[in-house]
Amino acid sequence: MSIEKKLSHIDASGNAAMVNVSEKPVTARLARARAIVELGEEILSSLQNGDVQTKKGAAFQTAIIAGVMAAKKTGELIPLCHPLGLEDCQITIAPISTSEIAIDCTARLHGKTGVEMEALTGATLAALTIYDMCKALSHHIVIKEIKLIEKRGGKSEFTTEK
């Protein structure tokens, strides 16, 4: 028996539509997304107190603020996303090699719909902010990937890590 999946944002007539969550129960929701940014060894070797200092200021601290602000505005940025009142949004930035950093964004709330898009948006804007803050140091910065790492709450759960 095959299970046919449908796109959730398409109505019976084939038109774009917001998902109706009015009958869904409120549950604890969590999503974690990760962006990998290749800064290069030269930029990462300049880390001081866990941050890269640029003429614009502290790159990682600025990126954390930008990521949280973006996650809070996801419903305004992405069509058909529900506007959500996040209860928590945490962003961490850490080197994972001599040339790359990982940006993790974890979003949480109690609600009727998940926070995957908020976590993905937060990680993405934090990565873009680091690019902007560090581009004067190198034009070889690469935002390599942005992906969902974990989703909890609702009818399906997901994780790529053990």
Active site residues: 132
Residue count of the chain, please give it. 162
Burial 132-142 (b: 16+ CB within 10 A, else e): bbbeebeeebe
DSSP for residue 84 = -
Are 70 and 62 in contact by the 8 Å Cβ rule? The answer is no
- Amino acid identity, position 73: K
Do the bridges between strand 57-58 and strand 88-95 make them parallel or antiparallel, or are there none, so unpaired? unpaired
